[in-house]
Amino acid sequence: MSHAMDVLPYLVAAYVFLTGCYGLATSRHLIHAVGCLAVCQSATYILLLAVGYRAGGTAPVFSDIEPGSRPVVDPVVQALTLTDIVVGATVTALLLALVLQIAKRHGTVDPDELRELRG
């Protein structure tokens, strides 16, 4: 029972990642595909935060707790998660801009109809 809890958050991250992959592969709409990529990326947030969790820990912010009085979660992975979110947002913005261009130039946003390259 307790052993299941030891790995459950990691398994949730894997599940979310695979769900995003399934959505990406079966997507019929490019904006939907961009959303699926965001789902894949959120799996990495879960994984990072799960790796950094410490039992009974609180946020690593010492403006209202005495340093050393309580265990805190790992701040390094939290900073990495922040970086992850920022990069994810920029990638989403760029991809959506590309989708807009594709919709204008090709008149479709179905990936299966975008077969050949056109100038």
Partner 1 sequence: MNRLRLWLLAVGGTGLAALLVAACLDLPRFGGRSHPYGDRAVHASLRRHIANTIASVNFDQRAYDTLGEMSILFAAVLGCVVLLRQTRDEHRAPPEPAEVARPVRRYALLVLPVALVTGLYVIAHGQLSPGGGFQGGVVAATALHLLYLGADYGALERVRPLGVYETTDALAVSSYVVLGLAGLLAGTAFLANTLLPYGTFNTLSSGGTVPLLNAAVGMEVAGAATVLLAHFLDQAVEIEDATEEEPGK
Footprint of partner 1 on this chain (CB under 8 A)?
5-11, 13-14, 17-18, 21-22, 25-26, 50-55, 57, 59-63, 67, 71-79, 82-83, 85-87, 90-91, 93-94, 96-98, 100-101, 104
Q: Looking at beta carbons only, is 79 or 114 nearer to partner 1?
A: 79
Distance CA 1, CA 59 (A): 27
Q: Write down the least CB distance from residue 94 to partner 1, Å.
A: 5
118 alpha-carbon distance from chain centroid: 32
What residues contact 30, with CB distance under 8 A and at least 6 apart? 99, 102, 103, 109, 110, 111
